[in-house]
């Protein structure tokens, strides 16, 4: 085909309306912020929140429920993407709301750029969620990562934050390199970068399998880094610990949704034919993550660091759902398995946002309160929030009847249905070990005396939102069915 007879199809911009809107608004907010004289940047903050709400409305309005492609098949709009994007807006909205008080107390973070970077990071995640092309996955990932590096480093006078940003940047660049190398191998083997076209060529079987699996190893490594699973987890504890808590909250919540979407797009949409190969790799990653995450978390005295190891173990658990989709060439259980993973990641994001929100609630007057000891005797200071924190810890530990229990339960169900009984037993054993450190936080809150019995002061809106978040954890635990069927339905219409 020569260029002369190449047909140019005008892309259907409606499908990507939300992405276009967010990028426009991020640029406008950047300009608008110059006019804001207020040192607290309230106007910028409100504009950012309104942008997220409007983007949610746009996504709702343009969602057709069909799988549709645009931008020469580089962009895919489907129900899974729409659902994840809606959850993404809500998460970012809540995260920025929690962070408000924290960043106002830190002069260098209380700038309009913080909100613009948050919006750009959101855009990056949206791009990743509806990518149908290796280049788009990579570009979205870089957009997200670059914004996050800057946000971590924003509190410049803090040495740990600068160190965390530097580590995150160097290791992130390395992981991007691995991912790109893998992608180039897959391009070499299949001759295309378009994810659905890769799937087609794999299906017809005219590819060099050796090079393909070779590339797959690198792609899995890159994705594993972004998910933060062992042995690509080294950055997680340092970044979670060193970053300002508001940014840790951001990193620990929304990007997990995007990383899950990246996993589904690359592995399930693109390379389901190679499921045997990547499932074996993911099993290894999952077991190692659950082991190292849960055991290392026990030794931590810093709550942020403990939650970082807990995040590693949770991502390992989530991977269990992804490894049980195809059993000896039979994809009967795929939908069930993948939707259990999706449910797991969504509920984890909800719980994680609430837990870090609680650390932000206690951090006042420019001081952090991220040591586990800072939660000592919380029950005496505020019985209500001690109860909320307890619910979150119970949910993370997987104690019935909180949402974490059902998330773990549905993943284990998928694992057993696929015939990996030993894997289920390993997962339960490590979860039991994990219970120890979650329950220790509860013990410290209820059975020890507070260092100073000052009551908790926070704006009423923050208290209400944090309570709503925690109650959602409890309520979803009692009625998990709605969200579960939503996950299953969206995947059914998308895969």
| Residue 255: exposure state from Cβ atoms within 10 A (0-12, 13-18, ≥19) | buried
Tokens 């983007």 found at: 55
Cα gap 330→350, rounded to integer Å: 33
Residue number with CB closer to other proteins (191 or 366): 191
How near is the Cβ of 446 to other proteins at its closest, in Å? 42
- φ/ψ of 371, rounded to 5, equals -85, 150
How near is the Cβ of 25 to other proteins at its closest, in Å? 12
Rama region for 8: left / alpha / beta (φ>0; ψ in -120 to 50; rest): beta
Residue number with CB closer to other proteins (185 or 322): 185
Please name the residue ranges forming H helices in 9-78: 17-35, 42-62
Could you tell me how far CA 164 lies from the centroid of its own chain? 19
Residue number with CB closer to other proteins (155 or 341): 155
How near is the Cβ of 411 to other proteins at its closest, in Å? 33
* Structure token digits, residue 395: 């949910």
How near is the Cβ of 94 to other proteins at its closest, in Å? 23
Binding site for other proteins (CB under 8 A): 1-4, 6, 8, 11, 16, 23, 27, 30, 71-72, 74-75, 111, 113-114, 116-117, 120, 123, 127, 133, 135-136, 139-140, 142-143, 146-147, 149-150, 153-154, 156, 187-188, 190-192, 208, 210-211, 214
Residue number with CB closer to other proteins (22 or 392): 22
How near is the Cβ of 150 to other proteins at its closest, in Å? 3
Q: How many CB atoms lie within 10 A of CB 29?
A: 23
How near is the Cβ of 18 to other proteins at its closest, in Å? 14
Cα gap 155→337, rounded to integer Å: 41
Residue number with CB closer to other proteins (201 or 314): 201
Residue number with CB closer to other proteins (123 or 320): 123
Residue number with CB closer to other proteins (19 or 370): 19
How near is the Cβ of 147 to other proteins at its closest, in Å? 5
H/E stretch holding 70 reads: strand 68-70
Say whether 77 sits in a helix, a strand or coil.
strand
How near is the Cβ of 59 to other proteins at its closest, in Å? 18
- φ/ψ of 44, rounded to 5, equals -65, -45
On whether the CB atoms of residues 473 and 391 are closer than 8 A, the answer is yes
Residue number with CB closer to other proteins (146 or 472): 146
Cα gap 179→171, rounded to integer Å: 12
44-75 burial string, b = 16+ CB within 10 Å, else e?
Answer: bbebbbebbeebbebbeeebeeebebbbeebb
How near is the Cβ of 13 to other proteins at its closest, in Å? 10
Residue number with CB closer to other proteins (75 or 394): 75
Sign, CA torsion 154/159/161/163: positive
């Amino acid at each position: 085909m020569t260029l002369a007879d190449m047909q140019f199809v005008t892309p259907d911009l409606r499908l990507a309306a939300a992405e276009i809107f967010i990028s426009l608004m991020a640029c406008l907010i950047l300009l608008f912020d110059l006019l804001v004289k207020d040192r607290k940047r309230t106007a910028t903050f409100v504009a950012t929140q309104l942008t997220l709400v409007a983007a949610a409305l746009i996504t709702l309005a343009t969602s057709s429920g069909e799988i549709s492609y645009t931008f020469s098949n580089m962009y895919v709009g489907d129900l899974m993407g729409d659902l994840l994007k809606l959850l993404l807006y809500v998460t970012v909205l809540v995260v920025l709301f929690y962070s408000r008080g924290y960043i106002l107390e830190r002069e260098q973070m209380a700038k309009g750029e913080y909100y613009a970077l948050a919006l750009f990071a959101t855009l990056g995640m949206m791009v990743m969620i509806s990518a149908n092309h290796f280049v788009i996955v990579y570009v979205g990932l870089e957009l997200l990562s670059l914004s996050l590096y800057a946000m971590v480093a924003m509190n410049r006078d803090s040495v740990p934050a600068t160190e965390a940003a530097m580590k995150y940047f160097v290791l992130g660049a390395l992981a991007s390199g691995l991912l790109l190398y893998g992608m180039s191998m897959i391009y070499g083997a299949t001759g295309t970068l378009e994810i659905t076209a890769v799937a087609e060529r794999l299906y017809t079987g005219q590819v060099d399998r050796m090079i393909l699996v070779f590339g797959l190893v690198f792609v899995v490594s890159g994705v594993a880094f972004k998910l933060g699973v062992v042995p690509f987890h080294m950055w997680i504890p340092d970044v979670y610990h060193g970053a300002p808590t508001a940014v840790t909250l951001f990193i620990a919540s929304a990007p997990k949704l995007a990383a899950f979407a990246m996993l589904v797009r690359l592995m399930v949409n693109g390379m389901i034919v190679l499921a045997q190969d990547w499932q074996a790799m993911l099993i290894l990653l999952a077991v190692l993550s659950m082991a190292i995450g849960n055991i290392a978390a026990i030794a931590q005295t810093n709550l942020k660091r403990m939650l970082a190891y807990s995040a590693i173990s949770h991502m390992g658990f989530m991977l269990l759902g992804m490894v049980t989709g195809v059993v000896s060439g039979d994809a009967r259980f795929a939908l069930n398995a993948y939707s259990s993973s999706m449910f797991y990641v969504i509920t984890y994001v909800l719980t994680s946002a609430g837990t870090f929100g609680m650390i932000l609630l206690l951090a006042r007057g420019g001081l952090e309160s991220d040591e586990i000891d800072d939660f000592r005797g919380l029950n005496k200071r505020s019985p209500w929030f001690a109860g909320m924190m307890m619910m979150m810890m119970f949910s993370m530990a997987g104690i019935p009847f909180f949402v974490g229990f059902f998330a773990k339960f549905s993943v284990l169900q998928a694992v057993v249905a696929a015939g990996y009984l030993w894997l289920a037993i390993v997962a339960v054993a490590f979860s039991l070990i994990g219970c120890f450190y979650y329950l220790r936080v509860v013990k410290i809150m209820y059975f020890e005396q507070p260092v100073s019995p000052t009551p908790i002061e926070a704006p009423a809106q923050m208290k209400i939102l944090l309570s709503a978040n925690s109650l959602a954890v409890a309520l979803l635990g009692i009625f998990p069915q709605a969200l579960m069927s939503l996950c299953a339905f969206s995947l059914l219409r998308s895969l």
